[in-house]
Chain A
Amino acid sequence: MTVNTTGSAVDGRHFDVIIVGSGWAGSLLARHLGRQNWRVLVLEAGNGGTDTWEGFQDTVRTFSAAVVKASNAAYRTSAAAPFPDVLDLRSTGPSSYTTSGHFEQTGPFPYAGDYLRALGGTGMHWFGAVPRMFPEDFATRTNFGYGADWPVTAMDLERHVREAELLIGTAGDGAEQHRLGVVADPEYQYPMEEIPPSYLDARFHRLLDGRSVTDKIAESAYTLQVYGLPQARNSTPNPAWDDGSGNPYRPRGAVGMPNFGERCVGNASCTPICPVQAKSHPLRLQQDFTDSVRLATRCVVSRVLPGRGGTVRGVEFREYGDPATPSSRPYTVEADIVVLAAHSIENAVLLLASGMANSSGNVGRHLMDHPTLLAWAEMPANDPVGAFRGPGHTSGLECFRTGQGRRKRAPFRIEISNWGWGWSTGAPLSSVARMLGLGGDANGEVRHGGYFGPKLRRDLGQQVNRQIQLQIAMEQHAERNNRVTIDPARYRDGMGNPRPIIHYDLDHRVKDGLYAAREVSKAIFKLLNATDHTNLGVQDDGSHPLGYFTHTPGGDLPPQDLGYRGPGHAAGTHIMGTRKSTSVVDADQRTHDHPNLYAVGCGSMPSIGTSNPTLTMAALALRSAERIHRDLAELHQPVTVATSHLAGKRAAE
């Protein structure tokens, strides 16, 4: 059991560090600082229990019982620490939508992702993709004339990225990632060998490698090449991996159950839940917490407390007993350093609610996601690929992510989905309903046609095994008006904390990227000899997909139906930079305004390229952990006459 204290037990106490949030960032920081013997308190707003076998089994059952297996389907809702769900959104017509639940949304387009407030945070339902960012991603302003540059380079983060890959537990092919251009060292070894690519990947290799596709928007031809995806999923230990200790890498399995989850067994449900826990999650790191780390769940931080001279003193939080009710008790706890690691959107809410770190006016601004275009098609009858097998995606097409095309449109990464038309159409369950003709026509009358018996079983089986889907994730760059705000007078949750108000939009670069992605998908389907079934526009029943719009990049390019889904890679709400006037945190994620307040996580990222952001976020967290350790060590150094004399002298100069 990881959870080892309660809110009431720490009331009024003082710690070296308080960390708000027990997801990847918070857990990495707590683990690191605990090993340096600092007294750390981790406050998790959500419920715990998944660190026991019985508790984890409850999430597996919750998943099984859910009608729609969306990203939060395995996790119970909470009235005390509510969180958004992709099921909150409804499409009400072309380019119109409604939302219910945790978010208020005011933008022309919905922010279509979600997150999870629970022990381990969104690191429980994440997919486990850990691609590195390209070096050029860190300076899009300098290189391509858009977005915001980072105050650090890929090289600066390299050491921490490696450490993150080890701690998260990564399977990948180092040589291949070197060829791709994201790993500098040609000899680099991941701790585990790559997750076996799918049969579908092999078909894509065979049919696409070396073939050329022209992107009219980027005005450039691209040569296709399928690359494997580094994943935080247990695979065969890499015998070539060496950390200098002489010990082989040993995959870490399930928490609370020995001999379980030491290798991916192909449950094909990574998001929302890996039932064997072969997919890494933050609870693994929490098992490493030293005795100096205390963790309490069901403690919702409502405010950061101001201290003297621009510092912060601690946090105010409310502890609840029953997640079904928001009734709770307030407590305070103090620390030398406070770290917000509560998810980019919740970090922004907390800073805004506390009136802190916002001298730049940029808290909550620059909200980014990876708007993702789905394109789906059917392989020929003589080339079934076998859908819904293995991890959600094991390979991708990477050539559209880099280079001068970025000047013309958003870059994008093409994920090759191993789960058929699941995300786009709800297959294979929706396939059953549609092939049966179930549910009535537009007038509610019983439909004609439809298959039964041997005909149904056979045609359904062969059709599903031919389903392929491309998930094409755009880079969205930082824009001031995509933002999180609060309005406590109007929008509060049951406990009284402000709910996030989100204003989200897509700019023309992203729309041009989505247009290009749709065109590229058509070309790829042609090369595969597959029949395109993509329909992003009006549907048979008159409904429009959420995120629908029509767009032309101009010139003689005809307008076409486009749309996007939100994978929930929320970033950029407290971006880092060197200047206090334009950024919220510095390169170590310390707020410019408060020397002992850190805001860590994807919120600090000035750009997210086309890489799933967790790995980079984890590296940043490890970087911050080193800085916090230095801060604390400095704070605890004995003051001697000599040094104070020198300090005084330096101050006088």
Chain B
Amino acid sequence: MTTMYELAQQDYRQPKDVPELRRYLQAALEVEHLTIPVYLTGMYSIKPGTNAYAYGVIRSVLLEEMLHMTLAANLLTAVGGKADVSKFVRKYPARLPFADKRVPEVRLRHYSPEALVTFLDIERPQSFVPPNGQKPTGWTSIGQFYDAIRRGVTDLEQAAREQEPPSTIFTGVAGDQIGPRDFYNSGGEVFAVTGLKTALLAIEVISDQGEGAHDTIWDSDDKIFGEERQVAHYFRFNEIHKGRRYGRHDLPRTSPSGPLLDITWADAYPIDPMAKIEDYRDSPELKTQAVLFNKTYAKLIAVLEKTFHGRSDLMHHVVPLMVELRDASQRLYRNPHPNAAKAALGLHASPTFELTDLFLAEGRTYADELVARTEEPSQLRGGGVLPSWTRPH
């Protein structure tokens, strides 16, 4: 079972010791990962050349989730933990941990109003969630979860410093951190987590980008990164859902009242949100392609794991795999569903994002090969001249 569901079942409280903090951070990694296939599906099911604004917004949020996942991995590494991708969600629909019990399961949906409702469920700000009775015993939002981590990190580090002799919870190897060198283009820069200050900054980035800072609709990117102010995830999605931009004076609880957006829901490939590989048995070719997609997805996860485990130089292999997934998923969406009854409903095929032990094992073998290749430059057919940027550092 995944760490995040285990945690979500216990009472709402902050981690009491470093091993438990590591569990929380592993859960954070899982939470961030959970959202990625959901956004990928919403984005790549848009027909090319249409819904450009919505595509851009989903893309920007997706990239920020990747940033969050990487920062969560840096946090985990910094406190001496080791990320474990085998606990990632392996199939959809999946439950959103730490959320209000009324939030339905997260499904992979094509670009549609229903998909946007799912996105909004994922990104709902903490302050929008009604208080859970008098005694706050259960989790009600992901923001609350990060708040628990923040307080845990602060208190545990404080306690460590007060020991005699003073110590720290940040015992990870600094060189194992993923830095801006390897990660770019995505909702600000990844930075190394080396102490309390950077740890708190990382947590702030993760929770503010999602939910909006201090109850305004703006996140705090401009403060931290000096970037253009952009509306936080929830509000960016709400704009698409409502088909309007937020105006200058809109508040978190008001509906967007700005200019209309060019949203055309019909320009998407409708898919079956419950699709599984087995549904494709009528078409060997389509099934092969859908399986290939999942194997590539497993490779990506496995290479990411390596980057979390001190091989951040492998990050440049992640992008080509993402690109492969992009192209493969778009080909699937554009194909009619192979099941005649479903095709008659106008449904299309879709990647299922199912992970298995076997696929993960194959993915890890692939990642090991990549490591071996960087250590044996002569194996490159280019012939001995390996550009400096491919060398580990």
Contact = CB atoms under 8 A, between A and B. Distances in A.
Contact of A205 (B63, B385, B390): B385
A194 B230 CA distance: 32
A236 B60 CA distance: 21
B389 A263 contact: no
Contact of B384 (A54, A206, A257, A259): A206
A202 B385 contact: yes
Interface stretch (B2-10, B22-30, B182-190, B281-289): B182-190
A250 B225 CA distance: 11
Nearest to A278: B185
Given A193-B389, A258-B230, A259-B187, A239 B383 contact: no
Contacts of B185: 253, 259-263, 265
A455 B384 CA distance: 34
A257 B63 CA distance: 13
A248 interface: yes
A535 interface: no
A396 B388 CA distance: 18
Contacts of A202: 380, 382-383, 385, 387
A251 B184 contact: yes
A250 B189 CA distance: 10
Contacts of A236: 181, 389
B389 A258 contact: no
Given A57-B52, A202-B383, A236-B181, A258 B227 contact: yes
B228 interface: yes
Q: Is the interface on chain B under 10, 10 to 19, 20 to 34, or 35 or more residues? A: 20 to 34
B319 interface: yes
A259 B188 contact: yes
Consensus secondary structure, chain B interface: loop
Nearest to B227: A258
A515 B104 CA distance: 73
B136 interface: no
A259 B181 contact: no
Nearest to A53: B56
Contact of B180 (A194, A248, A257, A259): A248
A196 B385 CA distance: 11
B383 A237 contact: no
Contacts of A259: 60, 63-64, 185-188, 227
B196 to A, nearest CB: 22
Nearest to B222: A258
B389 A199 contact: no
Contact of B383 (A57, A206, A248, A258): A206
Given A237-B181, A259-B187, A262-B184, A197 B227 contact: no
Contacts of A203: 382-383
A206 B388 contact: no
A107 to B, nearest CB: 43
Contacts of B49: 61
A199 B227 contact: no
Nearest to B221: A258
Contacts of A205: 383, 385
Contacts of A239: 181
Nearest to B226: A250
B387 A196 contact: yes
A206 B64 CA distance: 41
A248 to B, nearest CB: 7
A248 B319 CA distance: 24
A265 B230 CA distance: 24
Interface in A17-71: 53-54, 57, 61
Interface in A235-279: 236-237, 239, 248, 250-251, 253, 257-263, 265
Nearest to A196: B387
A199 B180 CA distance: 25
Nearest to A261: B185
A260 B56 CA distance: 10
Interface in B344-386: 380-385
Q: Which of B49, B64, B187, B189: most chain A CB closer than 10 A?
A: B189
Interface string B52-74: 10001000100110000000000
Contacts of A251: 184
Nearest to A197: B387
A263 B381 CA distance: 25
A285 to B, nearest CB: 17
Interface in B144-163: none
A237 B180 contact: yes
B319 A265 contact: yes
Nearest to A254: B185
A309 B187 CA distance: 57
Contacts of B189: 250
Nearest to B182: A236
Contacts of A262: 184-185
Contacts of A258: 60, 187, 221, 227-228, 230
Given A53-B56, A61-B49, 11 more contacts: A57-B52, A194-B387, A194-B389, A203-B382, A236-B181, A236-B389, A258-B230, A259-B60, A259-B63, A259-B188, A260-B185
Interface of B: 49, 52, 56, 60, 63-64, 180-181, 184-189, 221, 227-228, 230, 319, 380-385, 387-390
Interface of A: 53-54, 57, 61, 193-194, 196-197, 199, 202-203, 205-206, 236-237, 239, 248, 250-251, 253, 257-263, 265
25 contacts: A53-B56, A61-B49, A193-B388, A193-B389, A196-B387, A202-B380, A202-B383, A202-B385, A202-B387, A203-B383, A205-B385, A206-B382, A206-B384, A236-B181, A237-B181, A248-B180, A253-B185, A258-B60, A258-B187, A259-B63, A259-B64, A259-B186, A259-B227, A260-B185, A262-B185
